[in-house]
Amino acid sequence: MLRIKSSLVCLGRLKSGNLKPARQKFLKSYSSGARTSGGGGQRWRTQIVCALGGGLAVGVGLVASLWYSRSRKVALVGLEEAACHEKHRWRGKDASPWRQEVGAEAGLQEAVRRSRDLLRRVKDEAGSPGIVVAVSVDGKLLWAEGMGYADVENRLPCTSKSVHRIASISKSLTMTAVAKLWEEGKLDLDKPIQHYVPEFPEKEVDGKKVEITTRQLVSHLAGIRHYSKDYIEKLGNQTDKDGASKLAQDSKTSSKNDKTNDATKTMNNNGGKDTKETEFYVTKDYSSVVDALELFKDDPLRHKPGSKYYYTTHGWTLVSAVVDAAADEDFLVYMKKIFKDLGLTHTVPDEASPLIYNRARGYTKNKKGRLINVPAVNLSHKWAGGGFLSDVGDLVQFGNAMLYSYQYTNKHRDAGLLPGYLKPETMKAIWSPVPLAKCSSGTNGEYMYAMGWQVHERGEHRGFCPEKHQMVWHLGGAVGASSALLVVNRGKPDTVSKSEPVAGDTTQDVSGLGDAPSPNDLSEKWGVSSSHDSVSLPEGIVVAMIVNVDDVSLFKAAVEIAQEFQKVHC
């Protein structure tokens, strides 16, 4: 102890420079000896520090491993235990809302993840530059996303706000205008169309006069042709003195003013697809829907009106002329009012001159399978049948407005809910399958056409089997675009305005959609009605999809995405 004190004193004096040389020599020798004698202790301390550091690293790694394992387990069980540290807040209370909120979040994330993967597959398989989708559940938009490019040349990304051609979904929009005029008593669906459009000539089949009605037109039963005229050569034995088919001669006369050959040459010069259906690429600008009738009004009918189903876009041009007359207003002006009433802020006629923000470009593939721009076309000859632009958000909004109107009942009225845009009785008629209108969607099987919509009626529910919901939809194929709008009606039979039985109904069961949701499946956090015993509307899933390339079927993908979001409630 004395030696240490002396050393400290000497160190203090050393700083002041007052130490004698002998004492300085002593301190120097002491310091050297201390370092020599303490070398083993220094090594020992180093080993301890290394051991402690290694143990700490192992501990951190173990904690990280446990955390990762825990997080994976949480993801697999739907995050139901992710917030278990908060359980004490629920002691003595019903914890169901807490559990279901956590489970709903996990279910939604998983549905989006799987649907996004499906979206990528559809895009890759079709070779589409861009693809967009939007999904709503019970009226609330839960997912909207775009992938790829809306404009390949300028590298502009495709987003959920991109505006595309929606093709034949335009028929469903036009049907809403027809229904509104029908409700207001301005349009009789069963009157001959000459009552509204005297410019359209009366028709004969097998030498007998026949009548065409609006009801037949909106279900593709009127016998109006589509784009192809090949059928004319095969009709009847009516010939003129020269032995040529009089029907074919009339058809050629009626199409003198068509400027479609130039469009076809343009397609061929660009390496595009050669098609006989040149009216798909019309470039003539028609000043009114009545003027557009010249494309087909003098052509013979394919069959007797009301006798069979034949899909036709030209038939809807005639429907637009009926709407024009019944509304006593230009067809496009009236449709814009419908869009405004429905809240479709990005749905407009596909016109070349106006500035339409976020408008996507359309593409096709040449004979070598390479992507090329589609030729310029003018859609004034088929506004009603395929002439509108929209985005997926507007399409989902439209689907929900129709579903709301369909499901509205006295119970909802008594609960203070506002009525739908159309009356429930009107929607029952629109969404009821027409027995003769059996159609198909490519490889997706046979379905029934109603009025401006395709429909698959609700199937019979059996024990331990998924409930088969009613589906209504429309697909579209345009120059440079393909589209799909699917509405899955998940309302219970006792809460939905059911239509009267249709004689001879041969509809098939809906397949592939999951079970109906149980009560309180999603909390208000996710904007989904918490109980199917409630009076909230609408109850269902709406899916809208668009790609900016032609000849792509999106129906199967839309159904699969609806299935994924059905699982959010399971």
State pLDDT tens for residues 365-422. Answer: 999 999 999 999 999 999 999 999 999 999 999 999 999 999 999 999 999 999 999 9
pLDDT tens digits along 501-550 = 333 333 333 333 333 333 333 333 334 443 444 578 999 999 999 999 99
Q: What is the 3-state secondary structure (H, E, C) of 344-411?
A: CCCCEECCCCCCCCCECCCEEECCCCCEEECCCCCCCCCHHHHCEEECHHHHHHHHHHHHHHHHCCHH
Q: Exposed/middle/buried for 158, CB within 10 Å: 0-12, 13-18, 19+? A: buried
Token code pair at residue 514: 């999951």
For the ranges 227-231, 290-294, 393-397, 551-555, the lowest mean pLDDT is seen at 227-231
Q: What percent of the chain has pLDDT over 90?
A: 59
Average pLDDT, the chain: 78
Give the C-alpha separation, 562 to 137, whole Å: 9
The residues facing 476 across adjacent strands are 483
Q: How far apart are CA 332 and CA 324, in angstroms?
A: 8
pLDDT digits 0-9 by tens, 202-224: 999 999 999 999 999 999 999 99
Cα separation, 202 vs 385, in Å, equals 22
Which residue numbers are catalytic? 168
Alpha-carbon distance 160 to 319, whole Å?
Answer: 31
Closest-CA residue to 273 (of 285, 284, 288, 263): 263
Beta-carbon count within 10 A of 60 CB:
10
Here the tokens at position 508 are 């098939």
pLDDT on residue 250: 44
Select from 173, 223, 185 the least CA-distant residue to 430.
173
Asked if residue 13 has pLDDT above 70, the reply is: no
Picking from 19-23, 101-105, 299-303, 453-457, which range would have the lowest pLDDT averaged per residue? 19-23
Maximum average pLDDT range among 51-60, 177-186, 244-253, 522-531:
177-186
pLDDT at residue 68, rounded to an integer: 57
Q: How far apart are CA 534 and CA 505, in angstroms?
A: 32
Distance between CA 459 and CA 513 in Å, rounded?
11
**For the segment 319-378, what is each residue's pLDDT rounded down to a tens digit?**
999 999 999 999 999 999 999 999 999 999 999 999 999 999 999 999 999 999 999 999
State how far the Cα of 194 lies from the Cα of 217, in Å rounded to an integer. Answer: 13
